[in-house]
Structure 1
């Protein structure tokens, strides 16, 4: 009896087989996701497919019977001098804005993270620095149009200081309009970078700075070898996002200059809009939109890849 009891104890009891979820239970998660999926399909997938289809046809929307044009619309867009100017202006606009956003955002974030300022002073500076982010694009465009008007505040200050003799038409001068619009975009966008980088700075362990100081590193070396490496994931993510967002900037440019004067501030977004709703060349506008979509997808690919590596 003792041996038989030992054998029965050694044998593990069989676990009951798990019941496989029924077909109805497997469908339940998709039921919860269905409203979002339907919205994505209706509001994103269908319009994108329609625009791609329009880009390969001629006389779309304005005529009932459109004809297949192949790559003619793409060839027309890529050889259009206005489109080439828009690409150059967009490249300058994006590059200067991104570099300035990161530089200003990091500088202000480090100032707000320093221990040299008191709590009240930091709170006041945070309120002032975050104000541009609270305004809508329409308000920002109106503010800057009033500031740079020939009879505006900027010219008044410069004349008072004796730097200019008469009012300058900042948005009417082709050599200055692009830089004014870029500066307005920088002013409206740097608070987001400041907040993100400030959060990154506050997440750096203070022990790293103490260890670097013990090793004899000066403030510049601590910034280069401690701060920047720790902020590298945040900086890369913000830079890629800024490339995507700035390349699609439309409202600020349209409300300030409308792409003028003389195409000085023409961007890919304003070029596409004009082709569709000013020239009524919807096929050409669709081709330009597809090109912008491809460029944005390339940037989005690098962003997703960076996030996966992180």
Structure 2
């Protein structure tokens, strides 16, 4: 009797393929940079390279206007730091940003608390929100044109003040050396407070009512509730907004340039307008680069504190 054996159709056992772990790990680590590469290229081209070029210009003389520039060391920085116009611009910038930031916080908090109160109805709050947010909706060019007309000697501001008996004759607010800086600061305050109002209003709406109820049970009056409940709860928002406003206001250029151009007699000259004039009016690109680097360093100090505050939060 012949026995037949069925052929073994079982597939041969294959040894498991060991993955290339180093290559896989490297690919996994580099893949996020592949997605970020377009943004990184844009940042390098539009930010890093120009900053490096400006820093290099600040250490050379006769840049851009002449083909062969020479190394000047710190001479451009010495020229800028000893220039009376630069020192005046630094002083004006300090006054401009300090007064603007303080006024933004006070007005923003006052209007935010008014819009957060329970004494006003929903329709009334909506109307006030539209009115208070209007300055933030206008562009800088529109704001400058509006206020140049309002502050003209024959403008609405002088007419109202004369009607109330506060002025005997029209004042040219933007051409008077004693009033121009304060007029420009007032316009900047008017155009910037809505952003603070919105941010602080969001912070107020995030404060639990239980804290106010507990303070009322303990016998705290409205002023004590504001000082011991509202302000401590808003402290992170207030500090962050103040540092941000210092950075933004220190870089304000368009509004001042379109209102006064840094005049009269340089009383509204700030660091941004001084740098612009050095580069495009006097064609001193080397000293303009040095001034720009100084402004960059001052801004980086403020940015450092802002980032540090955000990390603490």
TM-score (normalizing by structure 1):
0.93
State how far apart, in whole Å, the 1-side matches of 2:85 and 2:65 are: 23
Give the equivalent residue in structure 2 for 1:44.
Answer: 47
The answer to whether structure 1 residue 280 and structure 2 residue 287 are counterparts is: no
Post-superposition, which runs of at least 4 consecutive aligned residues in structure 1 deviate over 2 A? 17-28
Give the equivalent residue in structure 2 for 1:200.
Answer: 203
State how far apart, in whole Å, the 1-side matches of 2:122 and 2:217 are: 28
- Structure 1: stretches of 5+ with no match in the other structure: 1-16
State how far apart, in whole Å, the 1-side matches of 2:26 and 2:233 are: 48
Give the equivalent residue in structure 1 for 2:102.
Answer: 99
Give the equivalent residue in structure 2 for 1:241.
Answer: 244
How far is 1:19 from its partner? 7.5
Q: CA separation of 1:18/1:214 partners in 2, compared to 1, >3 Å: closer, same or farther?
A: farther
Match of 1:120 among 98, 123, 132: 123
Give the equivalent residue in structure 1 for 2:227.
Answer: 224
The answer to whether structure 1 residue 266 and structure 2 residue 269 are counterparts is: yes
Q: C-alpha deviations, 1:92-143, integer Å up to 9, x for none? A: 0000000000000000000000000000000000000000000011111111
Q: CA separation of 1:226/1:73 partners in 2, compared to 1, >3 Å: closer, same or farther?
A: same
How far is 1:28 from its partner? 2.2
Match of 2:65 among 57, 62, 67: 62
State how far apart, in whole Å, the 2-side matches of 1:23 and 1:115 are: 59
Give the equivalent residue in structure 2 for 1:108.
Answer: 111
Q: C-alpha deviations, 1:55-92, integer Å up to 9, x for none? A: 00000000001000000000000000000000000000
Give the equivalent residue in structure 1 for 2:151.
Answer: 148
State how far apart, in whole Å, the 2-side matches of 1:122 and 1:166 are: 38
Q: CA separation of 1:26/1:201 partners in 2, compared to 1, >3 Å: closer, same or farther?
A: same
Instruction: Map 1:280-299; keep pairs closer than 5 Å.
Output: 280-299=283-302
TM-score (normalizing by structure 2):
0.92
Number of aligned residue pairs: 294
State how far apart, in whole Å, the 2-side matches of 1:18 and 1:291 are: 54
SS of structure 1 residue aligned to 2:179: helix
Q: C-alpha deviations, 1:189-212, integer Å up to 9, x for none? A: 000000000000000000000000
Q: C-alpha deviations, 1:223-254, integer Å up to 9, x for none? A: 00000000000000000000000000000000
Instruction: Map 1:175-214; keep pairs closer than 5 Å.
Output: 175-214=178-217
State how far apart, in whole Å, the 2-side matches of 1:179 and 1:103 are: 17
For the pair shown, the structure with the greater C-alpha radius of gyration is 2
SS of structure 2 residue aligned to 1:264: coil
How far is 1:18 from its partner? 9.0
SS of structure 2 residue aligned to 1:60: coil
